[in-house]
Structure 1
Amino acid sequence: MSHSRILDIAVSEFGRKGLEGASTRGIAAAAGTAMSSITYHFGGKEGLYAAAASHIDAEMADQMRSALSDGPVPEDAGDARAEIHRLLDRLAVQLITDRDAESSLFIMREQMHPTGAFDCFYRGTIGRMARRMVSLVGAATGAADRDARVTAMTLFGQVVVWRSSRALVDRLLDGPLDAGHEALVRHRIARNTDCILDRLSADQQEPQ
């Protein structure tokens, strides 16, 4: 039994039941491996939970690689805006439909009731995206740091809501959100993003 298979099952179990509710014995049984194997490789439930968080972060890093840059933030406002669009659109592709639903449950639990595992996400891909977005918003609009931070979270929020409020979305759309909605949602996110950035840019020109 590969580590990856055990971690996939652990992500699902921890996502649905939380750290306290999930059972390493149940995870071992679902993975078709001995309980001693989890103890040997991960040191127990807390170690497995931390490894599951790292597993999620590694998958996110791979999914976002094409849009999440580690290079210098563009100095040109138009280039910074274009990167904002690429980053949000790539994230939307992951969150609009049910791709990686188990990982999302795990992450949402950590957002609401953070444990030590949240540090893995903040040091990793989620934190990188947030910090990059703050810098990009500042470069694209000239906004001060506080405004850039608030705006960055607002921009992320319009994407994340499609996963975090899935039950409401399904009711409002009279059926499950699926790939058929993807183009429309991505288009609306892009238009909203431009409106938000345009307003923030205009705010910088108004007398204080």
Structure 2
Amino acid sequence: MLQTRLLDIAVREFGAKGIDGASTRGIAAAAGTAMSSITYHYGGKEGLYLAAADHIAAQMAREMDGSLDVQHEFASNDPIAARKHIHHLLSTLADKMAADATGDWSLFIMREQLAPSKAFDRIYAGVMGQMLEMLANLVCIASGSRDPRAARIMTLTLFGQVMILRGSRAACLKLLDRDAIEPDDLTDIKARLRVNTDAMIDRLTADERGTQ
């Protein structure tokens, strides 16, 4: 579909060059459409940029499809089930961050992380924000913590362990002495994620019991 191709190219160009460096004329030409198509559908470069952000949010939702369905854990308030889903969520995210397919929109997101605009608000309003809120809630259930701020701080550290696979890809490959993250590497990384996650949840549980 032409609009999907146009948005895919826009994400790639904006991610690589930023909104100021990317050319809407070049984006239109690469997509095989006229410049007037961008003006008609999106109003111009800023409109296309926001549409690219919405496109990324939709892609992220498809990539994480099913991973955010944890109604049972919230309804039952089950610490074991909550911990299990935290592991599943982080493992799924690690798979996505290690995959080359996420490269184009990851560059776009990293630019927005450094200099947030309305585009970041649109991305965060989608699966990114939902996932972080869910992780924080699951941490509370898994640890028995009644301190939402402590759970959110832990969520940042859990999330950061996975995001390094994309945000610091070059450093990861240098340290592992690899040209690409191999399946065995990813298996070991996810095993370490589980160990780290359990240790942090156990520590928060102990802290909670110590305050009672």
Normalised by the shorter chain, which TM-score bucket?
over 0.9
Match of 2:153 among 133, 150, 154: 150
Residue 163 (structure 1) aligned with residue 150 (structure 2):
no
Unaligned 5+ residue runs, structure 2? none
Give the paired residue count. Answer: 208
Q: Which deviates more, 89-98 or 156-165?
A: 89-98
How far apart in 1 are the matches of 2:180 and 2:140? Answer: 33
Aligned partners of 1:169 and 1:177 also within 8 Å? no
How much is the aligned-residue C-alpha RMSD, in angstroms?
1.4
Cα deviation code 1:54-81 (max 9, x no counterpart): 1111111111112112636240111111
Where does residue 48 of structure 1 map in the other structure?
48
Residue 182 of structure 1: CA displacement? 1.8
Cα deviation code 1:23-53 (max 9, x no counterpart): 1011111111111111111111111111111
Residue 59 (structure 1) aligned with residue 59 (structure 2):
yes
Amino acid at match of 1:150: I
Where does residue 174 of structure 1 map in the other structure?
177
Which consecutive aligned stretches of 4+ in structure 1 deviate over 3 angstroms post-superposition? none
Match runs of 1:107-126 below 5 Å: 107-126=109-128
How far apart in 1 are the matches of 2:71 and 2:45? Answer: 37
How far apart in 2 are the matches of 1:11 and 1:97? Answer: 17
Percentage of pairs with the same residue: 51
Residue 120 of structure 1: CA displacement? 0.8
Aligned partners of 1:96 and 1:177 also within 8 Å? no
Normalised to the residue count of structure 1, the TM-score between the two structures is 0.95
Residue 197 (structure 1) aligned with residue 201 (structure 2):
yes
Match of 2:97 among 80, 95, 98: 95
Amino acid at match of 1:40: Y
Cα deviation code 1:98-119 (max 9, x no counterpart): 2210011111111111010111
Amino acid at match of 1:122: Y
Where does residue 183 of structure 1 map in the other structure?
187
Unaligned 5+ residue runs, structure 1? none
Amino acid at match of 2:21: G
Where does residue 135 of structure 1 map in the other structure?
137
Residue 129 of structure 1: CA displacement? 0.5
Residue 4 of structure 1: CA displacement? 0.4
Normalised to the residue count of structure 2, the TM-score between the two structures is 0.93
How far apart in 2 are the matches of 1:99 and 1:194? Answer: 29
Aligned partners of 2:173 and 2:181 also within 8 Å? no
1:175 aligned counterpart, secondary structure = coil
How far apart in 1 are the matches of 2:112 and 2:144? Answer: 32
Where does residue 10 of structure 2 map in the other structure?
10
Aligned partners of 2:15 and 2:108 also within 8 Å? yes
